Amino acid sequence: MQMPTQLTQVDGMMTDQLPTSDRGLMYGDGLFETMRLQAGQYSHLEQHLQRLLAGCRQLSIPVSPETIESQLQSFLTKLQHQALDNAVIKLIITRGSGGRGYQPPADEKPRIILQSHPLPARLSHYQQHGITCITARQTVASPAVLPGVKHLNRLEQVLASIELQQASQRHEDIQEALMVDTAGRLLEGTRSNVFLAREDSLFTPSIAEAGIAGIMRQLVLALAEQRGWSLVVGQLPVTQIQDFQEMFVCNSIIGIWPVNCVSVAGQEILFPQHRFAREIQQVLA
């Protein structure tokens, strides 16, 4: 019998039912983390929880680390019973149910949702052979109200992902869409952070005004500091990426994907080198 690859737990119960009064559904009032289950364990769990709890404090969602950790352990036990060792895990925290208006109820009861999903197809293929990127027409508003926070309001990424979906139907190697802010500066991918390299120096866009503080981005930044690599975190017009020799994108699920080519304003920009990407892959695999 084939084991299920998609499971859902809501507040400790195995169900895919959610009240229509949930504020995450009604207002995007919540946060999420996307983690990788690898060899039966949550990868980089400490970093994910730190970011999630920081977001909860920012949104004033009253949830304790102990409650989240208990739910994670309960879900892990269920995954083990289904012999699921490798998967994508999504952890969602909403403010819970309450009222028609924006004002939260006085007795907030946050809801914790956990889901498992299959890993993306051809994951290792793109890690080895690299991908092609487009540049999305959809921009990211900057400065954002909550820069770096993985809240549930992600319509800009949804619209850019529709562009990516249409492009990938034409060519399967197109696996990411780069997003720029309203000033035309490179910011991130629809689901990833971006790094560029020139000679012995790494560059990554600043997320001080907009963007996501990715866990894999944090790990790459820490590795760069450990290795003593020259590193610049700043702003870059997307048209200037042609001045670099290497690009890669990263997140907690895909790891490091080298980028071979990016389409910017009808121009194909090639990245012939993958030196940093290969070294980082070896360390963070």
Same domain assignment for residues 130 and 210 = yes
Is residue 1 in some structural domain?
no
How high is the pLDDT of residue 144? 87
Same domain assignment for residues 94 and 140 = no
Cis geometry, peptide bond prior to residue 104 (ω within 30 degrees of 0): no
Cα separation, 245 vs 47, whole angstroms: 30
Same domain assignment for residues 140 and 249 = yes
Is residue 200 in some structural domain?
yes
Is residue 81 in some structural domain?
yes
Here the CATH number for the domain that contains residue 205 is 3.20.10.10
Is residue 181 in some structural domain?
yes
The CA distances from residue 128 to 131, 260, 269, 285, in Å, are 9, 11, 20, 12
How high is the pLDDT of residue 1? 39
How high is the pLDDT of residue 88? 97
Residue ending a domain, choose from 88, 117, 146: 117
Is residue 30 in some structural domain?
yes
Residue ending a domain, choose from 117, 137, 152: 117
Same domain assignment for residues 225 and 85 = no
Same domain assignment for residues 144 and 254 = yes
Same domain assignment for residues 137 and 21 = no
Same domain assignment for residues 269 and 144 = yes
Query: What does the pLDDT profile of the chain (285 residues) look like in tens digits?
Result: 345 668 999 999 999 999 999 999 999 999 999 999 999 999 999 999 999 999 999 999 999 999 999 999 999 999 999 999 999 999 999 999 987 789 999 889 999 999 999 999 899 999 999 999 999 999 999 888 888 899 999 999 999 999 999 999 988 899 999 999 999 999 999 999 999 999 989 999 999 999 999 999 999 999 999 999 999 999 999 999 999 999 999 999 999 999 999 999 889 999 999 999 999 999 987
What is this structure's pTM? Answer: 0.93
Listed residue (155, 114, 118, 163) closest to 137, CA to CA: 163
Is residue 3 in some structural domain?
no
Residues facing residue 255 across a β-bridge: 251
Same domain assignment for residues 182 and 229 = yes
Is residue 2 in some structural domain?
no
Same domain assignment for residues 14 and 84 = yes
Alpha helix positions (H), the chain: 23-27, 45-59, 65-81, 123-129, 155-170, 215-227, 275-284
Full 3-state SS string of 134-147: EECCCCECCCCCCC
**What b-and-e string marks burial along 255-281, b requiring 16 or more CB atoms within 10 Å of the CB?**
bbbbbbbbbbeeeebebeebebbeebb
- Are residues 114 and 35 in contact, defined by beta-carbon separation less than 8 angstroms? no
Cα separation, 13 vs 137, whole angstroms: 41
Residue ending a domain, choose from 117, 133, 168: 117
Residue located via tokens 């983390």: 33
End-to-end CA distance of the chain: 32
Same domain assignment for residues 72 and 188 = no
**What b-and-e string marks burial along 75-113, b requiring 16 or more CB atoms within 10 Å of the CB?**
bbeebeeeebeebbbebbbbbbbbeeeeebeeeeebbbb
The CA distances from residue 190 to 158, 173, 218, 271, in Å, are 8, 16, 17, 20
- Tell me the chain's radius of gyration from C-alpha atoms: 19
Cα separation, 8 vs 75, whole angstroms: 9
Here the CATH number for the domain that contains residue 100 is 3.30.470.10
Same domain assignment for residues 93 and 137 = no
- Are residues 175 and 167 in contact, defined by beta-carbon separation less than 8 angstroms? no
How high is the pLDDT of residue 2? 47
Q: State the pairing for strand pair 255-264/131-135.
A: parallel
Same domain assignment for residues 198 and 258 = yes
The CA distances from residue 105 to 93, 98, 152, in Å, are 16, 5, 19
Helix (H, G, I), strand (E, B) or coil at 244: coil
Cα separation, 180 vs 160, whole angstroms: 11
Is residue 249 in some structural domain?
yes
Q: What is the residue type of 90?
A: K
Query: How many domains would you assign to the chain?
Result: 2
Which structural domain range is residue 20 located in? 8-117
